[in-house]
Chain A
Amino acid sequence: MIAEIGHIALILAFVVALAQSVLPMVGASQNAPRLMAFGDRAAIAQFILTAFSFICLTIVFLSSDFSVKLAYNHSHSAKPLLYKISGVWANHEGSMLLWVLILATYGALVPIFGRRLPSSLKARALAVQAMLAVGFMGFLILTSNPFERVVPVPLDGKGLNPLLQDPGLAFHPPFLYLGYVGFSISFSFAVAALIEGRIDAVWARWLRPWVLLAWSFLTIGIALGSYWAYYELGWGGWWMWDPVENVSFMPWLAGTALLHSILVLGTRHSLPSWTVLLAISTFSLSLIGTFVVRSGVLVSVHAFATDPERGVYILALLGITTGAALALYAFRAATLTGAPGGKSVSRDGALVLNNILLVSATLTVFLGTFYPLFIDAISREKISVGEPYFNLTFTPIMCLLIVFMGTAPMLKWRSDNLSRLKSTLLKLFIILAVVTGLTYLIGKSVLGALAIGLCAYLAFGTIATILRRAKFGELPRDQSYALLRAQPAATWAFVCAHIGLAICAAGITAMSVWSASAAKALQPGQSLSVAGYEFTMGELENARRENYEFLGTDVRITKNGKAIKTVHTERRYYPIRNMLTTEAGLHLSLRHTLFASISENPDPASKAKWVIRGYYHPYVVWIWLGALLMALGGFIGLADKRLRFRGSEVTE
């Protein structure tokens, strides 16, 4: 019964979205206030119905109602509570329902926070938002009904893919979707602005918090996914340039560009049509991400719920959405005029440079991800594009970006000259040289040392920027402190995010240059040595737990005879799914991560030896800490007074 109610609620939400996609648009063109106001109410009704439908599906999973096919396929009565809940979205249908729910949530927030928006702009944006909802709800109802029943009713479910039974992954999709789908707001408002044929600083300032919000969630989502891959897949890969990772990274890169160009638009009123194009592209890349994961067109470790036929629907949806928006852009972009850009040496100029580099980086990832597919399709030649390709193409672009990032925020808007910054720049280059030199002496790697030097340069450049803004050295101390306190939230957001990137990049460098690993077939009591650490295998343990059997061992890690930590690693066998997983044992610390995993028996005949892998990963935690700091920066930026969600009751 609950399943049917949920299904009906979803269909009603679809009908509401259908009306919402037409009436406010008509209202806006005929200047009919009541039709425009319908958009506000419909957006909220659509949200309530979708949320209700989602709650119904959650109840189905919680009550282990295996007469619903989805719960039967992806749940099990013996599953822990957390995974019964996360099971709702750890499959194709449920995750699409979550997608639609988040789309409706963002849509409903527009009338709540946008009371003072021009009513025609808001009505048009809500109509566009509803068109997206119509497309995706139609997809759910027509091809992926989550509420389908199964007859006869099975006794128990098949269980959830054990790889997904992990807290990191339980929260990864919601955050990722909050990011992906969050960009739908900038898409809808970009399309609405194109229809209106005008765009201004008010538009940009109203939209910026939404971009910040989506970007921060996406950052957290990607970081969670990376952390999950790191410890769950058991070989210490925190980022594999896997197609599924790449498609979540592309909207992030484009979204980062958007975040900066919308800043220029909001402050200087230049780059209007470019910003609109970025807004459209960012969301299109999110749709591509959804398409790739949901259709399984690029098979990879993450695409757990795949079905090529559904892919055609999403591809059509992607084609229509992106195609229509870009066609509209082609016709109307010329009407969006803004102020002329600043000089090359100015903050405006630097942000244009930022956009050039970020867009190049996005296209590079795009090319690396889809080129093998393209070559295969036209000539049946198979090539692989892996980490070495991205190291040679993507990494230099990012390094160049960091070079500009370290100093560009010190520039003034409109026009500036570098001689003003001479002494600060000199200090920064000394820091760069000293850190590079010291790192080289310790680490013996030229590229690694240069990269760490750049990270230090970025971090100190960011600090120097904030000190300059507070006029330290120019004014008396107490006045400078007062100025520092008076800095807007946006400044602190910038400091947080840029230092976050420096920390993240330092972790990435350390991890790529100085990590070490070894593998050896061991008997209990034997050990292997990695980067000066001894990994000693303990007694083998073989038993059953909740819903799996396991074979595990303690691995004692010592350095020069001194105990560091004993970690536990195991191979799990899930009989319900007939799947094996590896749980690595980790010793996480800020300086390094030591990490042991047990893998298959090298010689099945003798049960005496097991392959133990030991890993030494310096500063790997910095990667995720840096990412979280970036996301925190985004959230801090939301508090900026100049960007306040206007006309809302939600003030400080």
Chain B
Amino acid sequence: MKYLIITILTFFAATFAFAQSLDAKMEVRAQEIGAQLRCVVCQNQSIEESDASLAEDMRRLVRARLEAGDSNADVIDFMQERYGDYVLLKPPVQGNTFVLWFTPFALVLLGLLWFAFRRQKAIANAPLSEEERAKLDAILKGDER
């Protein structure tokens, strides 16, 4: 009898847990969103990674919004409105983050442009002459003795 009750209870617990969990697709979306949201009381952890109870609440909130039919962007907007820019691990592109967002690309672009258009003096100037090379070799050999 005892075992029967345990079995039934386990069964109910299992179905309850099953009903509680979203279908797989929605769970994937929830995790995708969660990875972009910071647990606001933690030090540099997303709400998906954190064990803090606030993160747990925030995870629930994300799933509740998804179940209510929000799109991924809606959920993120909702969380941003509620917790401020601080909650976004991917900072929004706006006035105070232009420098942050565009510097890396500007650096690479400027670097590549400089590289492509730099004066290539090598053609005009010869590298080490034979004499210079011999001198260098002599110095290096001398050291190795």
Contact surface of A with B, Cβ cutoff 8 Å: 116, 201-202, 205, 235, 237, 240-243, 268-269, 299-301, 339-344, 346, 348-349, 352-353, 356-357, 359-360, 363-364, 367-368, 371, 375, 379, 381-389, 392-394, 397, 400, 414-415, 517-518, 520-521, 523, 525-526, 582, 599-600, 642, 644, 646-647
Known: A242-B44, A386-B46. A644 touches B144 (CB 8 A): yes
- Complex interface: chain A residues within 8 A of B97 (CB): 371, 375, 383
Q: Are B91 and A599 in contact (CB under 8 A)?
A: no
- Complex interface: chain B residues within 8 A of A360 (CB): 104, 107-108, 111
5 pairs, CB–CB < 8 Å, chain A vs chain B: A116-B143, A375-B97, A388-B90, A389-B89, A520-B21
Q: Is B14 an interface residue (CB 8 A)?
A: yes
Q: Are B35 and A342 in contact (CB under 8 A)?
A: no
- Taking the closest CB of chain A, its distance from the CB of B105, in whole angstroms, is 7
Known: A360-B111, A363-B103, A363-B107. A386 touches B38 (CB 8 A): yes
User: In chain B, what residue has the closest Cβ to A391?
Assistant: B90
CA distance A349 to B123 in the complex (A): 13
Q: Are B88 and A383 in contact (CB under 8 A)?
A: yes
User: In chain B, what residue has the closest Cβ to A235?
Assistant: B49
Q: Which of B89, B103, B111 contacts A385 (CB 8 A)?
A: B89
Q: Is B10 an interface residue (CB 8 A)?
A: yes
* CB-contacts of B1-58 with A (<8 A): 10, 13-14, 17, 21, 27, 31, 35-36, 38, 43-46, 49-51
User: In chain B, what residue has the closest Cβ to A580?
Assistant: B51
Q: Which of A240, A349, A353, A382 contacts B45 (CB 8 A)?
A: A240
Q: Are B46 and A387 in contact (CB under 8 A)?
A: yes
Known: A343-B120, A360-B107, A414-B122. A385 touches B100 (CB 8 A): yes
- Taking the closest CB of chain B, its distance from the CB of A250, in whole angstroms, is 14
CA distance A201 to B140 in the complex (A): 10
Mask, B95-116, CB within 8 Å of A = 1, is 0110111011101100110111
CA distance A344 to B45 in the complex (A): 43
Q: Are B127 and A414 in contact (CB under 8 A)?
A: yes
- Taking the closest CB of chain A, its distance from the CB of B88, in whole angstroms, is 6
Size of the chain B interface, CB-CB below 8 angstroms: 53
- Complex interface: chain B residues within 8 A of A364 (CB): 103-104, 107
User: In chain A, what residue has the closest Cβ to B105?
Assistant: A393
- Complex interface: chain A residues within 8 A of B127 (CB): 268, 339, 414
Known: A353-B115, A386-B38. A343 touches B122 (CB 8 A): yes
With A202-B140, A235-B45, A382-B84 given, name 4 new contacts (CB 8 A). Answer: A301-B44, A356-B112, A386-B44, A397-B104
Known: A384-B89, A414-B122. A523 touches B139 (CB 8 A): no
Q: Are B14 and A526 in contact (CB under 8 A)?
A: yes
- Taking the closest CB of chain A, its distance from the CB of B2, in whole angstroms, is 15
Contact surface of B with A, Cβ cutoff 8 Å: 10, 13-14, 17, 21, 27, 31, 35-36, 38, 43-46, 49-51, 84-91, 96-97, 99-101, 103-105, 107-108, 111-112, 114-116, 118, 120-123, 125, 127-128, 136, 139-140, 143-144
The 10 closest A-B pairs by CB, nearest first: A386-B89, A388-B90, A356-B111, A340-B121, A364-B104, A360-B107, A393-B104, A382-B86, A646-B143, A235-B49
- Complex interface: chain A residues within 8 A of B118 (CB): 341
CA distance A346 to B123 in the complex (A): 12
- Taking the closest CB of chain A, its distance from the CB of B5, in whole angstroms, is 14
Known: A300-B43, A388-B90, A646-B144. A340 touches B10 (CB 8 A): no
Q: Are A379 and B96 in contact (CB under 8 A)?
A: yes
Q: Are A352 and B115 in contact (CB under 8 A)?
A: yes
Q: Which of A235, A268, A353, A382 contacts B85 (CB 8 A)?
A: A382
Known: A240-B44, A356-B115. A269 touches B128 (CB 8 A): yes
- Taking the closest CB of chain A, its distance from the CB of B132, in whole angstroms, is 9
CA distance A130 to B137 in the complex (A): 33
- Complex interface: chain A residues within 8 A of B31 (CB): 517
Q: Are A371 and B115 in contact (CB under 8 A)?
A: no
- Complex interface: chain B residues within 8 A of A642 (CB): 140
- Taking the closest CB of chain B, its distance from the CB of A415, in whole angstroms, is 7
Q: Which of B36, B87, B121 contacts A341 (CB 8 A)?
A: B121
- Taking the closest CB of chain A, its distance from the CB of B38, in whole angstroms, is 5
Q: Are A363 and B89 in contact (CB under 8 A)?
A: no
Known: A341-B121, A353-B115. A389 touches B90 (CB 8 A): yes
CA distance A357 to B115 in the complex (A): 11
- Complex interface: chain A residues within 8 A of B139 (CB): 202
- Complex interface: chain A residues within 8 A of B91 (CB): 383-385, 389
CA distance A359 to B107 in the complex (A): 9
Q: Are B44 and A357 in contact (CB under 8 A)?
A: no
Interface centre among A300, A371, A518, A521 (most CB of B within 10 A): A371
- Complex interface: chain B residues within 8 A of A368 (CB): 100
CA distance A367 to B101 in the complex (A): 9
- Taking the closest CB of chain A, its distance from the CB of B20, in whole angstroms, is 9
- Taking the closest CB of chain A, its distance from the CB of B16, in whole angstroms, is 10
Q: Are B88 and A371 in contact (CB under 8 A)?
A: no
- Complex interface: chain B residues within 8 A of A344 (CB): 115-116, 120
- Taking the closest CB of chain A, its distance from the CB of B104, in whole angstroms, is 4
- Taking the closest CB of chain B, its distance from the CB of A118, in whole angstroms, is 11
- Taking the closest CB of chain B, its distance from the CB of A149, in whole angstroms, is 34
- Taking the closest CB of chain A, its distance from the CB of B113, in whole angstroms, is 10
Q: Which of A348, A371, A387, A582 contacts B99 (CB 8 A)?
A: A371
- Complex interface: chain A residues within 8 A of B125 (CB): 339-340
- Complex interface: chain B residues within 8 A of A242 (CB): 43-44
Interface centre among A360, A415, A520 (most CB of B within 10 A): A360
- Complex interface: chain B residues within 8 A of A646 (CB): 143-144
Interface centre among B17, B108, B114 (most CB of A within 10 A): B108
Q: Are B103 and A300 in contact (CB under 8 A)?
A: no
User: In chain A, what residue has the closest Cβ to B56?
Assistant: A602
Q: Are A384 and B115 in contact (CB under 8 A)?
A: no
User: In chain A, what residue has the closest Cβ to B103?
Assistant: A367
Known: A364-B103, A371-B100. A523 touches B89 (CB 8 A): no
CA distance A268 to B122 in the complex (A): 11
- Taking the closest CB of chain B, its distance from the CB of A187, in whole angstroms, is 23
CA distance A223 to B84 in the complex (A): 34
- Taking the closest CB of chain A, its distance from the CB of B107, in whole angstroms, is 4
CA distance A394 to B121 in the complex (A): 32
CA distance A202 to B51 in the complex (A): 55
User: In chain B, what residue has the closest Cβ to A528?
Assistant: B17
Q: Are A599 and B51 in contact (CB under 8 A)?
A: yes
User: In chain A, what residue has the closest Cβ to B116?
Assistant: A344
